[in-house]
Structure 1
Amino acid sequence: MRIIEQRFLRGPNFYAATPCLMAVLEGEHTSIPGLGARLLEQLPEMAPESAARLSDCSSPIEALEPVTMELQRLAGAAGSFSLSAAVAGKPEQLRVVCGYTTEQVAGAALRTARDMIAALAAHEAFDHAAALEELKETAQDYAIGTSTGAVVNAAHKRGIPSLRLTDQANLFQLGWGSKQKRLQATITGATNNIAVGIASDKQLTKTLLDQAGCPVPAGETVTSLAAAQRVARRLSASGGTVTIKPLDANQGKGVTTTCTTPEEVERAFEFARKYGRHVIVEEYLRGRDYRVLVTGKKIAAASWRRPPHVTGDGVHTIRELVEIENRNPARGDGHTNILTRIPLDAIAEQVLAKAGYTFDAVPPEGESVDLRGNANLSTGGTAEDVTDLLPEETREICIRAARTIGLDVAGIDIVCQDIAQPLREQRGGIIEVNAAPGIRMHQYPSRGTPRDAGGAIVDALFGEDDGRIPVIGVTGTNGKTTTTLLIAHAARMAGLRTGVTTTEGVFVDGQQIAKGDCTGYRSARSVLTSPDVDFAVLETARGGILKRGLAYDRCDVAVVLNVSADHLGLDGVDTVEELAKVKAVVAQRASRAVVLNAEDDHCVAMAASLADGVEVLYFSLDADNPVLLRHLDNGGRAVYLEDNAIVLADGTRHQAIADVRQLPVTLKGAARYNIANSLAAAAALVASGFGNAEIEDGLRSFVSDWKNNPLRSNLFDVDGVTVIVDYAHNSAAYAALAETARAMTPGRLVGVVAAPGDRRDADLVDIGATCAAGFDELVVYETENRGRESGSVAAKLVEGIRLAKFEEDHLRVELDVHEAIRAGLARCEKGDVLLFGCGSDISELLEAIRPTSPEVAKRIETEAASV
C-alpha cells in the first residue's frame, strides 16, 4: 500500500466545511483474514461504530481511514469527519479523506496507520505504545495554549475569523484585512511594548503605581547580599517579614515569600540571583494571593490563587498524595492543560521543611499542606473565582494600575487578608502587574464561577465589530478574472482599498504584490492578512479549491458565472456535474448573497444548497429567461440585459443603469460574454450594498486592456487586421470569442488556436470542433503540452476540426507559436479579425510580427506598456 498523493485542505472544501487530509492510496485490495481483529487489539478503545466497521475489515487499504482517525483521537487531536471512496477508472486506488484539528498530527497519524497496518498484515510486531507517544508529543508541540485557545474560541463564538500565523508559536490573526488584530497568548497587537518593559521591571512598576496612588509594599532593588540584608533588617525592624524575588522573572521563578532570619534572606537572595542580577527585597504583605484580570477599562475576572497543596488522609505520604493529585486529568505539563502538575523539587522540599514535613511524612487527615510559597498556576497552584467580591474601590485601583503601566490586558497581583474588603483598610497592596497574564485560572477555576476571560479580551479588542471586511468570492469556468476585476475596480472607485486575486496575480490597493496564477488558498490568504485591504474580491478557481480548500470560512457574496467542461479527469473530477459541486463550495460559504447565472442549469441548481437566509440574485442576457422571471415574480432581485441596457430589478422595480455599448469591456456591445460578466459584477455590487451610481461609474470606467486585464480580449491593430489576444482554453471560451469576432467585422475570422495538454482527448477533440464551427481559417499550434508528446495535442485538435468537415485548404498546423501567428496573419486581409487564443504573453505576438513589421511591433509594444 502506497500513499501516492496527499493534500491538506485547510479550509472549506469539496468534502467538508472543515479542514481535511485527502490522500490517494494505491495497492491491491488483498484479503488478509483476521487483520481487523489484530488492529482492534492495538486500538481497544475505538468508538463502537468504527470498531464494528474495522472488525469485518480484511483489506489493508480500506483499514487506513478508520485507523488514522482513531490515532488522531488517541493523540488528543481528534477529527470529526472521514470517508473513503473509489477512484474512477482505477480499481487499485482509494481516495481517503480524514478531518483533523492539527495538520501535523493528521499527517503523522496517516503514516503511522500505514506502518501499523503493514506490520500487522505481515504478522510482524509493531510498537503501538511508542508510536502513540510520538503522536501525542506532536500534538503537544503544535497545540494551542490554553489562554490563546480561550481567546480564539471566544472570537469564533462572536463570528470573528482567525488565522494561525505560525505552526507552533501561538501567534494568531483575528479578523481580516484592515480590521485584523494580532494575538499571542494574551498579548495583543494593541499591547504597548514600553508597557511590557515596565511590567517586567517590578521595582519601576511599584514606583509608578505608588505615584499613581495605588497601594504597594515598601522595598528596594539590590545587587549584593549585603544590601539585601540591610534592606531586610530595615523592613523587618518592627518584627515583620520580607519577600525576596528577581527583578524581572515571571511565573513565580526565584520567589521566596517569607524570610525572617539572615540565613533565610541569604538563601532567598542566592535563589533569586539564579534568575537575574537584580533582586527585590520588599515588605511581606500578609494574606491571600489574588489575581485580578483587567481588559481595556473593565475588570474581567478575579481569582484567589492557592499554592499547590495536598490534603492529608492519615494514610498516604506527601509524595504519594502528590502523585495521586497529578493523575488528575486536568493536570499536565506546560500551559495546554487546565492545571499544571505539582513538582516535587528542592523548592517544595524547603517549603515542607519550614512546616516540619518531608516528602515521606504522613500528614494528619484533613490537614492542608502547601508545597510552594507562591500560588502560580504554572507551578501547580489552583484558583477560586472571587470576581463578585471585589469592592468598587479595588476595581478602580486595578484599572488605574493597568492604565498607569500602559497595558490593555493586565494581570494585577494583590495580597490582602480579604479581597471583599477595601485594600487600604487591611494594609493590602499590589505586588505585581503582569503583561500577558494567563487566563486559565479564570476560564477554568478549581472552585467558583467560570469567567469568559477570553471573551472579555475579544470585547476589548473589537467592541461590537466582527473583525470582517467584505469578501466576494468569484468562481465559474469562464469569465472569472474579468468579473473579479470589474467588481474590484468599482469598489476602488468608491474609495475602498481593495485586495484582489486573479490568474494574473495578487493586487492590494491597485499595486501588484505577486505575479502568476493566484487563484488559490495561499493568494487569498495574502489578501486577508494584509492590513491595507478594506474590501476583498477573490477569484477562486477549481484547482485552488481542490488543492487546499478555501482560505476563508465564509464570504459575504459568492458569484458563480457558469459551469462547462474544463479540466475534467483531474483531481478526481470527471464529470461536469462533479465540477459543479466543486464550484458550489464557494456558493455554499456565502453568508449574505449568491449571484447565479439564470441561463446555466448547474448554477440554478446551486440555489437549493445554500445556507438559510442567503439571498439569490440571478443575472441573465435574456430578459425573458423563465428562471429570472419566476424569481422576480417572487420578489427576488436580479440583473439582466434589455435593449442594450443593464437593468437592476428588485421585484417589480426595474432600473436601467448603463448602456452596454458604452462599457469598454464589451467592445461596443460585441462581446456578449463580457456583457454577462458585467451583469454578474453589477449583481455582486448590488448585493454588497453599492448604489446604482457607484456601479455605473465602475462599469463605465473599467478598460480591459493589456495593463488592466491581460489576455482577456485585448485588441491590437496589425496592418489593418484586428487581433484579439485571449487566453481561451476550452470550448465555451472559443465559441464566445468567435461570436464576438463575428459581430465586430463583416470580413473573415482567422483563429490561431491551441489548448493545454492536461485536457482529456475528448475535450481536445471538442475544442477543435468548436473552432471549426466558429472560424473561417484555422492555424493550430501547441503550448503547455504538460507531459504530452510534441504534436499530440495539435493532432487531437485537428481530429476535431476534421470531424466538423472543415475544409483542408483553410487549415494549417504550425507547432511553433510565432510561426503560427505569422501563418494566421498571412491569411488575413484588412478588415479581418484574427483571434490568438491560449496565448501566454504579448511577447508571443510581438516576436511573431517583428521580423516583417518592426514598426507595427514597436507601436504595439509601446501601446501595451503605456496603457
Structure 2
Amino acid sequence: MNKKYIEFLNIISLRGPNIWTYRPVLEAWVDIGDLEDCPSNTIPGLYERLSTWLPGLIEHRCSYGERGGFLRRVQEGTWPGHILEHITLELQTLAGFPGGFGKARETPIRGVYKVVVRAWHEPLTRRALYFARDLLMAAIEDRSFDLADAVETLRDLADDECLGPSTACIVDAADDRDIPYIRLNDANLVQLGYGKAQRRIWTAESDGTSAIAEGISRDKDLTKALLQACGVPVPEGRLVESAADAWDAAQDIGLPVVVKPYDGNHGRGVFTCLMTQAEVEAAYAIAVEEGSGVIVERFVLGNEHRLLVVGKKVVAAARGEAAWVVGDGVSSVDALIDSQLNSDPRRGSSEEHPLNRVRLDSAARLELKRQGLVDGESIPALGQSVLIQRNGNVAFDCTDEVHPEVAAVVALAARVVGLDIAGVDLVAEDISRPLAEQGGAIVEVNAGPGLLMHLKPAAGQPRPVGRAIVDHLFAEGEQGRVPVIGVMGSQHSSEAAALTAALLQDSPKKVVGLAGANGLYLNQRCLASGDQRQWQAGQRLLINRAVEVAVIEHTAEGLLSEGFSYDRCHIGVLTDIDVNAHLGPFYIDSPEKVSSIFRCQIDVVLASGAAVLNADDALVAEMARLSDGAVSFFTQQPLSPALIAHVAAGGRVLQQQQNTLVFHDGQQSQSLALSQSFSTAQLAALTTAWAMNVSPASLLERVAALPTWSVSYSV
C-alpha cells in the first residue's frame, strides 16, 4: 500500500540556543512515506500552484543564495521536507513574522526528515507547521486550500498570544543591544537581563515606575494640583458632584469648558468646547458613567498632542487632527464618514493601522447637533463641512517641532508626578511656540503610555522609542547580565559544576545559583532536589533577582530536547566528550555528530568571556578555535607544543604536575604545592574560578575550606 502523506512523528521545542541556531526553533520529525520517491519536479503543476498561492516564496534565497533560489530548487527537484520548511516560514511571514531560520535534514531512516524552523512564538509556529503540511498536500494532490483562512487564524493567534507592539519594540531594542530577555507571563510582563542585573517592563511601564506615581496619574484632580503648584500650566477646573454643579463650575471658569471623567481613559466620555447649559448637563450625564467622578475645566484652544517622556527628556511627540467630512447633498453623515474617512487605508482596528476608524460616539453626536444635524442619518448640504471629531487619532509625528521650553515643561510634569516613563497630553495651537504665549496647557500625565503612535505614525518619521526606554534602563555598555557559567561533559560535568559553585561563594553576600545533577541550589539552600539539568531549572535561576552568579549544567540529551536555558554564557566549561555516547533516539549516530553537540557549549561563549577546556581530551581541545572569548586550558600532562604556544600568546593554562599546581598566565606563572592530586572535574572547577578572576592563592584556601572534593559533593 502506497503512503503518500506527510506525518509528524514528533515536534520538539528548542527554547534556547541549540545545535541549529542561537534562536528558539521547532524541530519537527517528519515522515514523508512514499513521497520520498516523488521529488517536486516529478509532480505535475506543483511549482505553479506553490508560486501562485505563495508569491512571497520568490524572496526565499535557499542554497543558491539569490532571490528565487528556493523556487529554482522546486523546479529542479527537491523533497517535501524541504518544501515544508519554506512554506512554514512563508506562512509566518504572512502572519507578521518575516524571515527566520530554517533547515531540513535527512535522518538515517528512509523518508524521515528533521524540519527546523524559527519559532517566533511556539503555538503560532506549531500551527503554521500543520497549515504548511496541509497546504503542501493540497498542492501535491491538486486540491484547493483556503490560504486566507489559514493566515487569518495565524494572525488572530499572534494578536492573542504574542507581545503587544509597545512591549515588542522595547524587547527588540534590548535584543539589538544583546540584552537577554525572558517573557514572564502570557501578557506583556518581560524581564530584561538576568539575575540581580535584570530590569522588568510591562508594556511601557518599568520596575522603576512607582505605584504611588501611577496612582497620582490616575487621579486627574490631584495631578493638576501638583503640576499647578510647580508652575506647570494646567487648565483651571474642579471636580463636580451633579449636573447642576457642573454648570455652576462652567460659569465660574468661563465658557467654553471641557467635561470629562475623573479617572477615565482612551478619550471615553470626554466632551470639549461646551458652550451652553444643556451641553454641559448632557455631557455630565455621560461622563459620570465612564469614571468615578466628573471634572469640568477650561477649554484650551488648539490641537491635542501626546509627548513621550523617558527618563528626564522628551523622546517623541505626536499631534492629533480634527476629522471633517464634506457634504454632497445626497449622502448621510454615516455614509460620508465611510467614504471620506474610513476608506483611508491608514484607518483600521489592528495594530497595523495608525488611525482608528471614525465612529459616531456621544461626543461626535453632540458636535453634529451643534451644526444643525440630528444624527448619522442626516444629510449635509452640498459643500457643507461637518466636524466629526475635534481631537482624535493622535498619530501625526511632530517630534522635531517641539519647542525646547515645551519639552522642559513636559519633562517637569513627568517628574512632578514621579513617572520615569510618561505620556503627557497637552493642548496647544502651535507646539513650536512656548505654551505661555498661546495659552496652552498640560491636560493629563499618563503612566504606561502606548507607543504605537510613535512607532507607526500616520504621517511623519517613526521614532526609536523602544531604544530610548532600553537606554534609560541600562547604561551604555551594560547588558543586564550576571556571570553565567555553562557546564557540559560526558562524565565529569556534574562534579565540576557543583565544585565551581562552591568555590565562587565568597560569603553569604555572594549569591551563587546552581542547576545541576544533584539539585537546584541558591548557595546552601536547596530549591529543588533531583536532577535539575533542565531548561526550566536554569530559567528559575536567571529570573531570581538574588542571583549574582549562575552555574548551569546541561546534558547532551537536554540540549537536543530543550536547548540551553540562557542565550549566551560568560564561561563555557567542557570537561570531556564520549563519542560513543548513545544518542540514537535523536538520530545522532556518529562521533562527528556527538562532537557537534558539545561544541554548542563553546559556541555560546560571549566575546567578553572565556572557554574552559580539558587539554587532555583531543576533541575538547579542538573546540578552542570556536570560542568568541578567551580560552583557559587545564591539563594533567606536561605542556604540549600547542599549550606552550597558547601561553606564549598570553593565554592561560592550569597544569597539575604531581603535587604542584602551576598557573600559567602569559609570561607569568605561579606554582602552589598540593597535599593531593586533583581530578578532571576538580581541575575544571579551579580553572573556571580562575577565569572568574579568583586568585590562585585564594583558590587553594577555598579548596581547603570545602568539606570534601568527592563526586557526590553538592552545595
> With structure 2 as the length reference, what TM-score do the two structures score?
0.88
Change (3 A) 1:374 1:147: same
Contact 1:38 1:120 in 2 (8 A): yes
- 2:622 corresponds to 1:602: no
- 2:275 corresponds to 1:260: yes
- 2:357 corresponds to 1:337: no
Match of 1:489 in 2: 502
Aligned runs of 1:627-776 on 2, under 5 Å? 627-657=642-672, 659=674, 661=675, 668-669=676-677, 675-704=679-708, 709=713
2-side partners of 1:213 and 1:586: how far apart? 58
Change (3 A) 1:463 1:589: same
The CA deviation string for residues 261-293 of structure 1, in whole angstroms up to 9 with x for no partner, is 223223322332331241111111112222232
Change (3 A) 1:604 1:29: farther
Shift of residue 317 of structure 1?
4.6
The CA deviation string for residues 110-159 of structure 1, in whole angstroms up to 9 with x for no partner, is 11122233344445443222122111211222332222122222222333
Shift of residue 486 of structure 1?
1.8
Query: Paired residue for 1:456, among 450, 465, 468?
Result: 468
Contact 2:82 2:103 in 1 (8 A): no
- 2:140 corresponds to 1:136: no
Shift of residue 529 of structure 1?
0.4
Query: Paired residue for 1:385, among 398, 416, 419?
Result: 398
How many residues are aligned here?
683
Shift of residue 533 of structure 1?
0.2
Match of 1:174 in 2: 192
SS in 1 for 2:340: helix
Shift of residue 371 of structure 1?
4.1
Contact 2:227 2:416 in 1 (8 A): yes
2-side partners of 1:688 and 1:355: how far apart? 75
Shift of residue 589 of structure 1?
0.9
Match of 1:161 in 2: 180
Contact 1:181 1:461 in 2 (8 A): yes
Match of 1:289 in 2: 304
The CA deviation string for residues 285-311 of structure 1, in whole angstroms up to 9 with x for no partner, is 112222232222333333333345689
Shift of residue 641 of structure 1?
0.9
Contact 1:208 1:405 in 2 (8 A): yes
Query: Paired residue for 1:151, among 156, 164, 170?
Result: 170
The CA deviation string for residues 185-207 of structure 1, in whole angstroms up to 9 with x for no partner, is 11111211122122112112112
Contact 1:77 1:139 in 2 (8 A): no
Match of 1:777 in 2: none
- 2:564 corresponds to 1:546: no
2-side partners of 1:13 and 1:548: how far apart? 8
SS in 2 for 1:604: helix
Alignment-mate amino acid for residue 557 of structure 2: G
Change (3 A) 1:395 1:381: closer
SS in 1 for 2:33: coil
* Larger mean Cα displacement after TM superposition, 695-704 or 177-186: 695-704
SS in 1 for 2:57: coil
SS in 2 for 1:91: coil
Shift of residue 702 of structure 1?
2.8
- 2:11 corresponds to 1:6: yes
Shift of residue 226 of structure 1?
2.0
2-side partners of 1:309 and 1:390: how far apart? 28
2-side partners of 1:67 and 1:224: how far apart? 62
Contact 1:65 1:84 in 2 (8 A): yes
Shift of residue 707 of structure 1?
11
Change (3 A) 1:386 1:58: closer
Shift of residue 108 of structure 1?
0.4
Change (3 A) 1:401 1:61: closer
- 2:489 corresponds to 1:472: no
- 2:562 corresponds to 1:558: no
- 2:444 corresponds to 1:432: yes
| Structure 1, unpaired ranges of 5+ | 662-667, 711-866
Change (3 A) 1:332 1:578: farther
Q: Which has the higher contact order (CA 8 A, sep 6+)?
A: 2
Match of 1:851 in 2: none
Contact 1:597 1:619 in 2 (8 A): yes
Alignment-mate amino acid for residue 412 of structure 1: V
2-side partners of 1:311 and 1:174: how far apart? 50
SS in 2 for 1:269: helix
* Larger mean Cα displacement after TM superposition, 642-651 or 336-345: 336-345
The CA deviation string for residues 219-250 of structure 1, in whole angstroms up to 9 with x for no partner, is 122242222222223223xxx21111111111
Shift of residue 487 of structure 1?
1.6
2-side partners of 1:41 and 1:81: how far apart? 23
Shift of residue 474 of structure 1?
0.9
Query: Paired residue for 2:522, among 503, 508, 516?
Result: 508
| Structure 2, unpaired ranges of 5+ | 1-5, 59-67
2-side partners of 1:23 and 1:402: how far apart? 50
1-side partners of 2:517 and 2:381: how far apart? 73
2-side partners of 1:91 and 1:698: how far apart? 55
The CA deviation string for residues 518-576 of structure 1, in whole angstroms up to 9 with x for no partner, is 11221111111000101111112112211121122211111111111223313122122
1-side partners of 2:323 and 2:381: how far apart? 15
The CA deviation string for residues 293-336 of structure 1, in whole angstroms up to 9 with x for no partner, is 222233333333334568999999542232331x23xx5535x3
SS in 2 for 1:530: coil
Contact 2:303 2:391 in 1 (8 A): no
Alignment-mate amino acid for residue 228 of structure 1: A
Change (3 A) 1:370 1:10: farther
Match of 1:84 in 2: 104
Alignment-mate amino acid for residue 407 of structure 1: L
Change (3 A) 1:49 1:350: farther
Match of 2:532 in 1: 518
Change (3 A) 1:487 1:99: same
1-side partners of 2:704 and 2:92: how far apart? 55
SS in 2 for 1:324: coil
Shift of residue 683 of structure 1?
2.2
Alignment-mate amino acid for residue 43 of structure 1: L
Query: Paired residue for 1:46, among 25, 34, 57?
Result: 57
Change (3 A) 1:442 1:368: farther
2-side partners of 1:228 and 1:10: how far apart? 57
1-side partners of 2:207 and 2:276: how far apart? 45
Aligned runs of 1:104-115 on 2, under 5 Å? 104-115=123-134
Alignment-mate amino acid for residue 232 of structure 1: A
Contact 1:77 1:102 in 2 (8 A): no
* Larger mean Cα displacement after TM superposition, 422-431 or 21-30: 422-431
The CA deviation string for residues 579-629 of structure 1, in whole angstroms up to 9 with x for no partner, is 211111110110121111112221122222333xx2111111112333322
Percent of aligned positions with the same letter in both sequences? 34
Query: Paired residue for 1:66, among 78, 86, 93?
Result: 86
Alignment-mate amino acid for residue 349 of structure 2: D
1-side partners of 2:215 and 2:432: how far apart? 31
SS in 1 for 2:527: strand
Larger radius of gyration: 1
Query: Paired residue for 1:221, among 217, 239, 255?
Result: 239
Aligned runs of 1:293-332 on 2, under 5 Å? 293-307=308-322, 317-325=336-344, 327-328=345-346, 332=348
2-side partners of 1:619 and 1:313: how far apart? 86
Match of 1:407 in 2: 419
2-side partners of 1:571 and 1:381: how far apart? 54
Alignment-mate amino acid for residue 208 of structure 1: L
Contact 1:78 1:100 in 2 (8 A): no
The CA deviation string for residues 794-813 of structure 1, in whole angstroms up to 9 with x for no partner, is xxxxxxxxxxxxxxxxxxxx
SS in 2 for 1:25: strand
Match of 2:3 in 1: none
